[in-house]
Amino acid sequence: MTPTNDDTRLSAFIDGELADEAREEMAAQIALDPQVRHRLDTLRTVDEMVASALQPPSLPAADHCANVVLASNNHAVAASVDSERPTPRVPTAVLASVGLLVTAGVAFVGLRRRGLV
């Protein structure tokens, strides 16, 4: 047998396409000849690789993806809210009051030195 004919028969053996008598002959040949057995293993490996390559990619569950996106979005919103919080500031009215008291105190000291108070 030629290698191409052998490969065709081995492929048919793998796929279960041989008639009963031909399948038994091929099984005997595989059992007796290590080279044929090695070639059968190689063809089975190729067959498995092709079958796995033709499978559609597995998609993650939509619910899981949605939960991951929502969780990351909630985390991002919380982080942005934390970063946007203003630092504690003294209210403007308190600063104005302190400024008026200092001005009044300086004016009072100046008037006292002149003897006007």
Considering the entire predicted model, what is its pTM?
A: 0.46
Helix (H) or strand (E) holding 86: none
Cα dist. 93→29, 36, 46, 90 in Å?
Answer: 101, 96, 82, 8
Using only C-alpha atoms, the chain has a radius of gyration, in whole angstroms, of 44
Domain boundaries, the chain: 3-54
Q: How far is residue 42's CA from residue 16's CA, in Å, rounded to a whole number?
A: 17
pLDDT tens string, the chain, 117 residues long: the values are: 555 568 899 999 999 999 999 999 999 999 999 999 999 999 999 999 988 888 887 777 788 878 888 888 776 655 555 555 666 677 888 888 888 999 998 898 888 888 887
